[in-house]
Amino acid sequence: MPTIKLVNVTKKYGNITAIKNLSLTIEDGEYLCILGPTGSGKTTLLKLVAGIVKPDKGEIYIDDKLVNNMPAYERNVAYLPQYYALFPHLTVLENVAFGPLSKGLSVEEARRISMQMLEMTRLAWRANSFPHELSGGMQQRLALARALASGAKILLLDEPLGALDARLRVELRYKLRKLAKENNLTTIHVTHDQEEAMIVADRIVVLRNGEIQQVGSPLEVYNDPKNIFVAHFIGGANFFEGFVADVDRYGSWIQLRNNFLLRINDPNRSVGERVIVMVREEKSKILKAKKKREEINVFPGTIVNTSFLGDFISYTISLDNGDKANSKVPLAKAIGKFKVGERVYLYIEPEDVKVYPYPPHGLYKEIEVI
Ligand SMILES: Nc1ncnc2c1ncn2[C@@H]1O[C@H](COP(=O)(O)OP(=O)(O)OP(=O)(O)O)[C@@H](O)[C@H]1O
Ligand SMILES: [Mg+2]
């Protein structure tokens, strides 16, 4: 099982730096997801590992071997490009069998493996069709089957499920992970879809402008986002601006807009410090009335919007201090409960608040790139 290691890697295209001094180790058999907005360098990172582009600086190792100058075909990687090209004159089965055959497998064995991959991607029944006879989603599944059949121990997948409908996406992401794990493959899977990354990844890398913002398990990245960008990019987040009004042994008081006071459990702040606080949408609770238990962190406001999200209802509350907040409530708890125009309270538990230093160029600059 191969490890992949990037050490201080930089890749420039003219004056655009697509990857900036990036270091990352992907462990044997690991399933790593790369998440990041468009243009953040995800495809470039895969191309560097695949050997399609070369780093301007830094080293890339596969199994402790420096591969900077090793051509792509010697790296034993299966690369599924974001904009894949199928062989138009070969049938579906021949497209998939191309890799195994060129590796010297017998026709029988190549056929067996290829049919297995076509079954997994639900294309076996189209084995004798030509690529142009397939729908867009089918072509993507074919490209995926072809990458999987190549027998390489490293899988580099660039948005492998992007063109598929929601149901198939969900089905295939489980199968992809299962297949990778069963065959001890080391996988880098690029996706825009944070839910997909949360479900399939052992670890997630969040990229922004060619730089890693955070690497961690899905839970770590979700529960403890290292900065505002990550908090915004993964999961629903409410941000409020404020400054630290007081600090004691157990926590701090943050003064939000118009004197709303928010208690947080972090005592390691400095009075006067300008901050952004973040609360997940599902941790932002709505109350009809103040209760005794919830004496602090209860902020009056009016519900201005509701949207149905399937399992959840999302409420937008316009707080009396001028801030806005979203609250995601499980459907069973929410049904028929709150209406647009209703006066309510937003309740935030101190332990659910994350605090970040106020960014040099403001909150908007941190989240606008997405
Ligand atoms: N061949 C190229 N020539 C010039 N600039 C390039 C080239 N390929 C990529 N770039 C630039 O490098 C940056 C990173 O591009 P990359 O394709 O890696 O992003 P990405 O994260 O994969 O984006 P997307 O989500 O849109 O696929 C972008 O600014 C892009 O314009
Ligand atoms: Mg890309």
Helix (H) or strand (E) holding 49: helix 42-50
Look at residue 2 and tell me whether its pLDDT is greater than 90: no
- The share of the chain scoring above pLDDT 90, in percent, equals 76
Look at residue 368 and tell me whether its pLDDT is greater than 80: no
Ligand 1, atom 2, lies closest to the CA of 13
Among 43, 83, 161, 190, which is best to mutate for testing ligand 1, by the most ligand atoms less than 8 A from CB?
43
- For residue 12, count CB atoms less than 10 angstroms from its CB and return exposed for 0-12, middle for 13-18, buried for 19 or more: middle
- Give the β-pairing of 312-319 and 324-330: antiparallel
- Of 228, 244, 279, the domain-final residue: 228
User: Where would I find the beta strands (DSSP E) of the chain?
Assistant: 4-13, 16-26, 31-35, 57-62, 65-66, 77-80, 154-158, 186-191, 203-208, 211-216, 237-247, 252-256, 261-264, 274-280, 285-287, 298-308, 312-319, 324-330, 343-347, 354-357
* CATH number for the domain that contains residue 104: 3.40.50.300
Ligand 1, atom 29, lies closest to the CA of 39
Enter the DSSP assignment of 192: S
Give the mean model confidence (pLDDT) for residues 81-99: 92
**What's the pLDDT score for residue 293?**
65
**Three-state DSSP class for 108?**
helix
Give the mean model confidence (pLDDT) for residues 104-110: 95
- The minimum-distance atom of ligand 1 relative to the CA of 47 is 18
Look at residue 91 and tell me whether its pLDDT is greater than 60: yes
Residues 218 and 243 in one domain: no
Residues 50 and 169 in one domain: yes
Radius of gyration of the chain (CA): 25
Residues 112 and 189 in one domain: yes
| pLDDT confidence tier of residue 202, bands split at 50, 70 and 90 | very high
Instruction: Show the ligand 1 pocket: residues with CB < 6 angstroms.
Output: 13, 16, 18, 36, 38-44, 82
Look at residue 335 and tell me whether its pLDDT is greater than 80: no
Residues 136 and 262 in one domain: no
Residues 198 and 53 in one domain: yes
- The minimum-distance atom of ligand 1 relative to the CA of 207 is 21
**What's the pLDDT score for residue 140?**
85
Q: Which ligand is nearest to the CA of 14?
A: 1
Residues 145 and 265 in one domain: no
Cβ(269)–Cβ(247) under 8 Å? yes
How remote is the CA of residue 140 from the centroid of ligand 1, in Å?
A: 21
**What's the pLDDT score for residue 367?**
83
Give the mean model confidence (pLDDT) for residues 289-301: 82
| Beta pairing partners, 249 | none
Residues 46 and 139 in one domain: yes
- Give the β-pairing of 186-191 and 31-35: parallel
Q: Which ligand is nearest to the CA of 18?
A: 1
Residues 339 and 267 in one domain: yes
- Give the β-pairing of 31-35 and 203-208: parallel
**What's the pLDDT score for residue 1?**
56
| pLDDT confidence tier of residue 28, bands split at 50, 70 and 90 | very high
**What's the pLDDT score for residue 160?**
87
How remote is the CA of residue 73 from the centroid of ligand 1, in Å?
A: 23
Look at residue 26 and tell me whether its pLDDT is greater than 70: yes
Ligand 1, atom 6, lies closest to the CA of 13
**What's the pLDDT score for residue 292?**
66
- The minimum-distance atom of ligand 1 relative to the CA of 41 is 18
Tokens standing for residue 154: 């490293």
Distances (CA, A) of 31 to 143, 197, 205, 260: 19, 10, 11, 44
Among 42, 53, 82, 189, which is best to mutate for testing ligand 1, by the most ligand atoms less than 8 A from CB?
42
- The share of the chain scoring above pLDDT 70, in percent, equals 98
How remote is the CA of residue 79 from the centroid of ligand 2, in Å?
A: 13
- Of 185, 205, 228, the domain-final residue: 228
- The minimum-distance atom of ligand 1 relative to the CA of 190 is 22
Residues 13 and 132 in one domain: yes
Q: Which residue has the higher pLDDT, 19 or 235?
A: 19
Enter the DSSP assignment of 224: S
**Containing structural domain, residue 190:** 4-228
Look at residue 350 and tell me whether its pLDDT is greater than 90: yes
* CATH number for the domain that contains residue 331: 2.40.50.100
Contacts made by residues 136-142, CB under 8 angstroms, sequence distance 24+: 136/163, 137/163, 137/164, 137/165, 137/168, 139/84, 139/86, 139/163, 140/84, 140/164, 141/168, 141/172, 142/86, 142/92, 142/95, 142/96
Residues 209 and 242 in one domain: no
Residues 6+ apart with CB under 8 A from 298: 287, 290, 345, 346, 347
Supply the mean pLDDT for the chain.
93
Ligand 1, atom 30, lies closest to the CA of 39
Tell me the pLDDT tens digit for each residue of 147-193: 889 888 999 999 988 878 888 888 888 888 988 898 889 999 999 88
Q: Which residue has the higher pLDDT, 324 or 103?
A: 324
Ligand 1, atom 5, lies closest to the CA of 13
| Beta pairing partners, 128 | none
How remote is the CA of residue 162 from the centroid of ligand 1, in Å?
A: 17
Residues 118 and 241 in one domain: no
Ligand 1, atom 1, lies closest to the CA of 13
**What's the pLDDT score for residue 54?**
96
Distances (CA, A) of 96 to 3, 100, 171, 265: 26, 8, 21, 56
- The minimum-distance atom of ligand 1 relative to the CA of 53 is 1
Residues 6+ apart with CB under 8 A from 78: 99, 147, 148, 150, 151, 152, 154, 155, 156
**What's the pLDDT score for residue 369?**
60
- Of 189, 212, 228, the domain-final residue: 228
- CA–CA separation, 320 vs 137, rounded Å? 48
Question: How many structural domains are present in the chain?
Answer: 2
Cβ(99)–Cβ(38) under 8 Å? no
